[in-house]
Amino acid sequence: MKTTQSIYLTSCQTNSLARIDQLMSSIPAAGVIDSLNWQEQYPVAPATMFTLAHTDEMLYVRFEVKDEVPLATKTEDLEHVNEDACVEIFIANADNTRYWNFEFNAAGVCNASNRKSRKEDVIRLNAEQLQSIQRYAQSPIANRLKGEAEGASWSLLVGIPFSLIEFDSTREHKRRANLYKCGDNTLNKHYASWNPINAPAPAFHLPEFFGEIHF
Using CB atoms within 10 Å of the CB of residue 169, give its burial: 0 to 12 exposed, 13 to 18 middle, 19+ buried: middle
Per-residue confidence (pLDDT) for residue 11, from 0 to 100: 78
Query: What residues have CB less than 8 Å from 31, skipping those under 6 apart?
Result: 2, 4, 49, 50, 179, 194
C-alpha angle 54-78-15 in degrees, rounded to nearest 5: 30
pLDDT at 142 over 50: no
Domain boundary assignment for the chain: 3-214
Per-residue confidence (pLDDT) for residue 138, from 0 to 100: 86
What is the band of 14 on the pLDDT scale with cuts at 50, 70, 90?
confident
Name the least confident of 40-49, 63-72, 139-148, 151-160: 139-148
Mean of the pLDDT values across residues 16-29? Answer: 95
Alpha carbons 204 and 193: distance in angstroms, whole number: 8
pLDDT at 139 over 80: no
Per-residue confidence (pLDDT) for residue 45, from 0 to 100: 95
- Mean pLDDT value across the chain: 93
71 touches 104 (CB < 8 A): no
For 128-186, give the secondary structure using H, E and C: HHHHCCEEEEEEEEECCHHHCCCCEEEEEEEEEECCCCCCCCCCCCEEEEEEEEEECCC
Per-residue confidence (pLDDT) for residue 140, from 0 to 100: 55
Mean of the pLDDT values across residues 179-194? Answer: 96
Alpha carbons 30 and 3: distance in angstroms, whole number: 9
The 3-state DSSP class for residue 124 equals strand
Its CATH architecture, for the domain 3-214, is Sandwich (2.60)
Per-residue confidence (pLDDT) for residue 136, from 0 to 100: 96
Q: What is the pLDDT of residues 146-170, one digit of tens each?
A: 344 445 789 999 999 999 999 999 9
Instruction: Give the number of residues written for the chain.
Output: 215
pLDDT at 79 over 90: yes
DSSP annotation of 81 reads G
Per-residue confidence (pLDDT) for residue 145, from 0 to 100: 38
208 touches 196 (CB < 8 A): no
45 touches 80 (CB < 8 A): no
Q: Which amino acid is at 191?
A: Y
Q: What is the pLDDT of residues 126-138, one digit of tens each?
A: 999 999 999 999 8
Mean of the pLDDT values across residues 43-67? Answer: 96
Per-residue confidence (pLDDT) for residue 117, from 0 to 100: 96
What is the band of 15 on the pLDDT scale with cuts at 50, 70, 90?
confident
